[in-house]
Amino acid sequence: MNLENYFISQFKDVHIGDDGALINNTVYSKDAFFENVHFKTSWMSYYQIASKAMIVNISDAFAMNAVPKYALLSIAMPKNITKAQMRELARGFQEGAAKYGIKIIGGDTISNIKLDITVTIISETLKPLMRKGLRVGHLIAYSGKLGRSSKELKKLMNLGKIHKKSKFVNIELRDKFVSTCSRYLSCGMDISDGLFSDLEKLSSANRLGFKFKNRILKRVGCSGEEYEMLFGFDPRDKKALLRHAAKSRTPITIIGKCVRKNYKNRCKAHHF
């Protein structure tokens, strides 16, 4: 067990274990976005940093088939931040939230030695999509293409530059796919820690393993911050699901099926 999972295991509550906590048709989700952990200010503008911090948090709501309504921000800013940079941050948060009809209703600001952000999203759902729900024989798949985020991160770490429409900065959420296909999905979550790491979470939640159709390259399976959907479904619903996915222009890759076996994650932990 890695350190992150060990720490989470210290808290015993039925609401812990999904992309957000579901309580009475309301989903509460929260993620951190910290300087020198998730980004460097030399990589992105302050507008891009705030926008991405908001979007990656909204991804958790959509992953649970929830409609995000409200956001709370907690921002720790360095003392040398300028008013122009503050305005950029505010605009990034506001426009990222407005794109999905979300109201920013409060939060907290403090002084810090670097820029650290946490966002809480409050969402509503009548048909939540959870990580549990897989059955033996169910197919497992993901949306979009994987591997580009890791490739672009390596460019940045080697002092290279990426395009402003790079997937590392410009994230496309799969809200339309989830809402139109939710009736066919047996489980789901967003791919934030990488395909192999997030498969480990599904495996643990459902006590099942996977039989893969083809070998998945490590550069694809270990690419974090993709924010695509990872999901399972009954093979009897395959045609209907693919038809509805096409309507939302969502590419789908079916990687295998669920079986009774152990699953081993091939990636190093991202957080520790």
pLDDT top residue among 200 and 266:
200
Question: What pLDDT is stored for residue 272 in this prediction?
Answer: 61
- Residues 59-116: pLDDT tens digits? 999 999 999 999 999 999 999 999 999 999 999 999 999 999 999 999 999 999 999 9
Name the token pair of 191.
Answer: 């791919």
Q: Where does CATH 3.90.650.10 sit in the chain?
A: 139-259
Q: Where does CATH 3.30.1330.10 sit in the chain?
A: 19-124
Compute φ and ψ for 122, nearest 5 degrees: -110, 125
- Provide the whole-model pTM: 0.92
- Residues 154-177: pLDDT tens digits? 888 888 888 877 888 889 999 999
- CATH second-level architecture of 139-259? Alpha-Beta Complex (3.90)
Predicted confidence band of residue 13 (pLDDT cuts 50, 70, 90) = confident
SS3 assignment for 43-95: CCCHHHHHHHHHHHHHHHHHHCCCEEEEEEEEEEEECCCCHHHHHHHHHHHHH
User: How far is 17 from 9, CA to CA, in rounded Å?
Assistant: 10
Q: What average pLDDT does the segment 121-134 reach?
A: 97
19-124 CATH fold: 60s Ribosomal Protein L30; Chain: A; (3.30.1330)
Predicted confidence band of residue 1 (pLDDT cuts 50, 70, 90) = low
